[in-house]
Structure 1
Amino acid sequence: MKHWFKDAHFRSLLKNSSYLAVSKVVAAIAGIATLAFAGRGLGVMLFGMLVLITSYAKAASGLSKFQSWQLIVRYGGQALALGEHEDFKSSTGFAFALDVVSGIGGMIVAVMVLPFLGGWFGIPDKYLWLAMLYCTLLPTMGAATPVGVLRALDRFDLISWQGTTYPIARAVLAGIAFAAGAPFEIYVGIWFITDLGGDIYFWFLAWRELRRRGLLKGIRPTLRPTTLPGAWRFAIHVNLTSSLITAWGPIARLVVGGLLGPSAAALFRVASSLADSAQKPADFLSKAFYPEVVRMDLSTKHPWKLMLRSAAFSGMVASAAVLLLLVGGKSLVSLIFGDEFLGAYPVLMVLIIAPVIGIFSFPLPSMLYALDRPDAPLKARLIGTIVYFGLIAPLCWNFGIMGAAVAFVLAYASMGIVLALQVRAEYRRVRSKA
């Protein structure tokens, strides 16, 4: 394994992912503390309502946003690697325009349809105004353009710094609210303020870095990226894939709430949060892997070796987290959230299978994007989503919240298998031409 560290790309991957790892560890601890304060302060029912309100806004953002950071990395990252700035500026302007249009459009649609959909997702009429207010975050929610700028400029340290600020602030404010016995509306306000502040700070960091490097001049918002071949095709495929990803997060929680009620949504949220923590090493590496591999020649063996080494390294690092949850998950749920949330433990034992799959498959979508195959992750995610929504209702009706967890795992496994088959086919195609 020592020779892995002689690879400059592998060392760069570890350096950038380590920045993210530090911030995510801090953010994860702060996030768990936040959920613990809110869960103990509100109880299962009102905590579930908070989950449903925030999940609705995140679902609307995920469905409308284009994940435009991938455009900047895909086109701008390659241009910067070659010492050229124009494609970087064009991709940044295109990404910014997409963020503005999709954010405002998503906000308007989300607010307009909420009175008709709220009841389906378990949000009663008396809380609709809070959910509508939270939807006003959509124009800034996600902060995709600044993420792309900082990743393309290799400033993962700034991303790391931003990633610790708002979770800590939210944890502190939630702790104060818990100690003061604050009402439900205060907790919603805390989530709103910290989301908004975190996104604004992200935009500031990207603007400051662009100004420092003299790259601000010439960046103009545009929806006609004439100098970027295939940019719209890439953006649409990435947006559709992102929308399907949203179906597995916020929309999944909304569906569980609609089928089984706010309390079930709260337990599912707690279990999924703990299960997701085991996949954090893969998430760190994934965010650093894509900018790294997009600069490499995919007709050589080097990027493919990097892919395998990254997956193996992620598996070794994450195995400790998986083992911890398997052995001490029940005690962890009781200690952090209280006995009222112990119903999340059996759900956690099922959901833990999903991050195990994700730990080893995380490089696959990035490889396909780097190969200019944005349609491939979309197809895999679409198949997984069809499996998920085909199973979740009957499994929930028959097995309750455990059924939702089983549906999630089966869908995740389906997606992983399809991704692996597609990457294998692309490898054979590329290597046959070498």
Structure 2
Amino acid sequence: MGRLFANMGWLLGGRGINAVLSLVYLALATRTLGTEGFGYFALIVALGQTVTGIANFQTWQFVVRWGANGEGPAEATGFAIALDLLSVAMGTVLAGLLVWTAQLWLPLPTELMWLTFGYCIVSLLSIRTTPTGLLRLRFKFGIATAAETVQPVIRAIGALLAVVFMPNVMGFILAWAASEVTVALALWIVAARTERIDLSKVSLTRIPQKHADAWRFVWSTNMSGSLTIASKQVMILLVGAFGGAALAGGFRVASQLGQALVTLAQAISKAILPELVHAKDDALAIARRMANIALVGGVIAVGVSLLFGRWGLELIAGEEFRVFYWAMVILSIAGAVELVGASLESLLVSAGRAGTAFLVRAVPTILALVFLDAAIDWNGAKGAAFAVLGSSSLAVVGFYVAILNLREIKLVVEPAETEPGEAPQKVAPPAE
């Protein structure tokens, strides 16, 4: 547990720096572009991240899972790089289709279409899950955090330059694109210094030949990652499609401030998965303890959002974004729910149940997207936020039920009374 908390400390420290700097560039972007202009910016970024999220494979999980064996990470890394190249090819085609049809469903001006396509391509070329996986495999969380800090720093500097030299949507998109490229380069450089990357091992066939379940695990984690994107980025796109650019911009601000907890949940998930893989016998106890800690943190964060959220919105984004206060509060509650569920989802993935985790996440996400139009008609941004909250709540309940029926994890129950020298009783979980 000591190493786990140390790793979480590095990740959360990096997230803390990111959070502070994100307030800087968020304030610069919203006050410079206004509600509608920031809405265009939010839609372009969301489209780029949607393309990357759908095409991208969660290769860091493959490196951690198959690189931890006695053979070392060379072949796992080669498989991950091959999948990254496949992601770029698939993503380019997807980006072309989405941007080509964007004017049929997104409120984006024609003159921004080439900028949107360019941002999608830069995002694809900046995929960095493989070097991140190498660093996590070797528990180099401090080095990874230092490299990832490049992104918010470049964004903040780029936002300042945009305000001075190019105070429009293009200026801020260029700043975001520069940050994607630099953080990817930083992670690849430090990963290569930590672990030798053998390009001769790049192959889509070697790992599947040794592990029969490889492709099932690959597609399950890819689809789970796509669902994570759908629950956030696709939601912003659809809010824009159903409610217009201004509503999309306001929802993006509310989401970034209110769902900062989701970023915290992702940090916990990334820190806990390598521990669960390396310590299967204690996996349930680790996950339970992390869920309890997350619950306390979530309650505190929601309270802060209620007390200071309106003031924070006005201070950072300006008076015109004040109307999104309650959407921000609802999204902060959704973030707290995700925070509790992060360790539960990692527990399922570490036990080889990535497919189960995907299904549990898929149904609530699809329901939220299906009912989003009706939710916006009912209560605007607050309705969309309630759709996110409902999706997160159903998913976490599903993770808990799935874990109760997971045979691979042994439940260790301390009896109320034991005879001297008697070992604690091990009780198998209920049959599925």
Taking structure 2 as the reference length, the TM-score comes to 0.91
Structure 2 vs 1, CA of residues 218 and 45 (structure 1 numbering), >3 Å: closer, same or farther?
closer
When the two structures are aligned, how many residues end up with a matched partner?
Answer: 412
Q: Distance in 2 between matches of 1:253 and 1:263?
A: 11
Report deviation, 1:118. Answer: 3.7
Distance change (3 Å), C-alpha of 1:73 and 1:118:
farther
Once the two structures are superposed, residues 307-354 of structure 1 have per-residue CA deviations (whole angstroms, 9 ceiling, x without a partner) of 111112223344433221110100000011110111221211221221
Q: Distance in 1 between matches of 2:383 and 2:46?
A: 20
State the alpha-carbon separation in 1 of the partners of residues 67 and 2 from structure 2: 22
Output the amino acid matched with 1:54.
V
Equivalent residue of 1:387, what SS?
Answer: helix
Question: Does structure 1 retain, via aligned residues, the 8 Å contact 2:217–2:354?
Answer: yes
Cα distance in 2, alignment partners of residues 219 and 345 from structure 1: 53
Question: Quick one: percent identity of the two aligned structures?
Answer: 26
Q: Secondary structure at the match of 1:342?
A: helix
Select the residue among 214, 224, 228 that pairs with 1:231: 214
Instruction: Rate the CA distance shift 1:33–1:405 in 2: closer, same or farther, 3 A.
Output: same
Q: Which has the higher contact order (CA 8 A, sep 6+)?
A: 1
Task: Specify every segment of 5 or more residues in structure 2 that has no aligned partner in the other structure, as ranges.
Answer: 412-426
Q: Pick closer, same or farther for the CA change 1:170–1:305 going to 2, 3 Å.
A: same
Q: Is the 8 A contact 1:90 1:220 kept in 2?
A: yes
Instruction: Give CA-to-partner distance per residue, 1:246-279, whole Å, 9 cap, x none.
Output: 1111111000000001111111111111112234
Instruction: Work out which of the residue numbers 177, 196, 200 in structure 1 matches 2:185.
Output: 200
CA 1:281–1:56 in 2, change beyond 3 Å: closer, same or farther?
A: closer
- 2:298·2:337 contact (CA, 8 Å) conserved in 1? no
Matches within 5 A, 1:119-268: 119-180=104-165, 182-211=167-196, 216-217=197-198, 220-224=201-205, 225=207, 226-268=209-251
Contact 2:154/2:175, CA 8 A, preserved across alignment? no
1:429, distance to aligned residue in structure 2 (A): 6.8
Structure 2 distance, partners of 1:146, 1:274, is: 28
2:102 corresponds to 1:117:
yes
Aligned to 2:307, which of 323, 327, 331?
327
Q: Contact 1:279–1:318 at 8 Å: present in 2 too?
A: no
State the distance in 2 between where 1:57 and 1:285 align: 25
Question: Do the aligned partners of residues 356 and 50 (structure 1) sit closer, same or farther apart at CA in structure 2, a change above 3 Å counting?
Answer: same
Matches within 5 A, 1:276-425: 276-298=259-281, 302-425=282-405
Paired amino acid for 1:223: L
Q: Does 1:46 align with 2:32?
A: no
Is the Cα contact below 8 Å between 2:107 and 2:244 reproduced in 1? Answer: yes
1:164 and 1:20 map into 2 onto residues whose CA distance is 10
Query: Alignment partner for residue 85 of structure 1, among 66, 71, 74?
Result: 71
Aligned residues of 1:281 and 1:314 also touching (Cα < 8 A) = no
Contact 1:387/1:410 (<8 A) preserved: no
Q: 1:377–1:333: structure 2 CA closer, same or farther, 3 Å change rule?
A: same
**Following TM superposition, by how much is the alpha carbon of 1:138 offset from its aligned partner in structure 2, in angstroms?**
3.8
> Is the Cα contact below 8 Å between 2:123 and 2:177 reproduced in 1?
no
Q: What SS class does the counterpart of residue 343 from structure 1 fall into? A: helix
Partner of 2:418: none
User: Would you say the 8 A contact 2:260–2:332 is kept in 1?
Assistant: no
Give the alignment's TM-score, normalised by structure 1.
0.90
What is the aligned counterpart of 2:14 among 11, 23, 27? Answer: 23
SS at match of 2:57: coil
In structure 1, give the amino acid aligned to 2:393. Answer: A
Contact 2:119 2:177 in 1 (8 A): yes
Structure 1 counterpart SS, 2:405 = helix
The one-letter code sitting in structure 2 at the alignment partner of 1:131 is T
In the TM superposition, what is the alpha-carbon distance from 1:85 to its structure 2 partner?
3.3
Question: 1:183 Cα shift?
Answer: 2.8
Native 8 Å contact 1:104 1:138 kept in 2? no
Amino acid at match of 1:85: E
**Distance in 1 (alpha carbons) for counterparts of 2:243 and 2:64:** 40
RMSD, aligned α-carbons? 1.8
Pair 356,109 (structure 1): closer, same or farther in 2 beyond 3 Å:
closer
Question: Which residue in 2 is equivalent to 1:102?
Answer: 87
What's the CA shift for 1:124?
2.3
> Displacement of 1:72 after TM fit?
0.9
The code of the aligned residue for 1:105 comes to M
Q: What amino acid is aligned across from residue 416 of structure 1 in structure 2?
A: V
Aligned mates of 1:418, 1:317 — CA distance in 2: 21
How far did residue 176 of structure 1 move?
A: 3.2
309-318 or 220-229, which deviates more: 309-318
Cα distance between partner residues in 2 of 1:112 and 1:396: 26
Counterpart residue type for residue 110 of structure 1: A
SS at match of 2:122: coil
CA contact (8 A) 2:262 2:336 kept: yes
For residue 353 of structure 1, what is the amino acid of its counterpart? I
Match among 5, 26, 42 for residue 35 of structure 1: 26
Q: What do residues 405-426 of structure 1 show as CA deviations (whole Å, max 9, x unaligned)?
A: 1111111111111111001111
